[in-house]
């Protein structure tokens, strides 16, 4: 019987892999759109890259960050708008992340930039093509 024990472990491992590969993983996208006033824009970009995004990624809930400049501008706009997107596996995980980390990041941003930066968030579900 001892000869088959390692083989038994390998089979269980392969079955576990097949089980998870057969499950459809639904990803959500957590998008936050920010508007940064011209007076704080350079500092905002540096802070997002150097502090906010690295802090948001701690804990492994959020994945694949993408930070983009929104090209549309209104005449007379003071500053620029940006989109920050992360992927997560579920809304429940995202809510836990927000309670543990996200709310503190929002407070830190408010303290640092005041009314110079404003934002709103949207949760989206990925649709398979």
Mean pLDDT by 10 residues, the chain (129 residues): 48 53 67 96 98 94 95 83 95 92 95 95 87
Terminal CA-CA length for the chain: 48
- CA 121 to CA 119: how far, in whole Å? 7
What pLDDT score does 85 carry?
A: 97
Q: What number does CATH give the domain 25-125?
A: 3.30.70.100
DSSP, collapsed to helix, strand or coil, labels residue 30 as strand
pTM of the model: 0.77
Tokens 């992927």 locate to 87
- CA 60 to CA 63: how far, in whole Å? 7
Q: By the 8 A CB rule, do 79 and 35 touch?
A: yes
What pLDDT score does 3 carry?
A: 42
Distances (CA, A) of 28 to 2, 7, 44, 100: 46, 38, 26, 19
Give alpha helix (H) positions in 23-122: 41-47, 53-57, 91-97, 103-113
Structural domain boundaries in the chain: 25-125
What pLDDT score does 5 carry?
A: 47
């Amino acid at each position: 019987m001892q000869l088959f024990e390692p083989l038994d472990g390998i089979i269980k491992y392969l079955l576990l892999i097949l089980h998870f590969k057969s499950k459809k993983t639904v990803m959500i996208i957590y998008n936050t759109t920010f508007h940064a006033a011209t007076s704080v824009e350079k500092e905002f970009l540096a802070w997002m890259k150097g502090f906010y995004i690295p802090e948001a990624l701690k804990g492994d809930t959020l994945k694949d960050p993408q930070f983009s400049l929104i090209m549309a501008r209104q005449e007379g706009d003071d500053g620029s708008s940006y989109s920050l997107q992360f992927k997560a596996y579920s809304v429940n995980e995202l809510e836990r992340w927000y309670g543990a980390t996200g709310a503190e990041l929002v407070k830190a941003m408010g303290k640092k930039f005041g009314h110079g930066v404003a934002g709103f968030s949207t949760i989206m579900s990925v649709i398979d093509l």
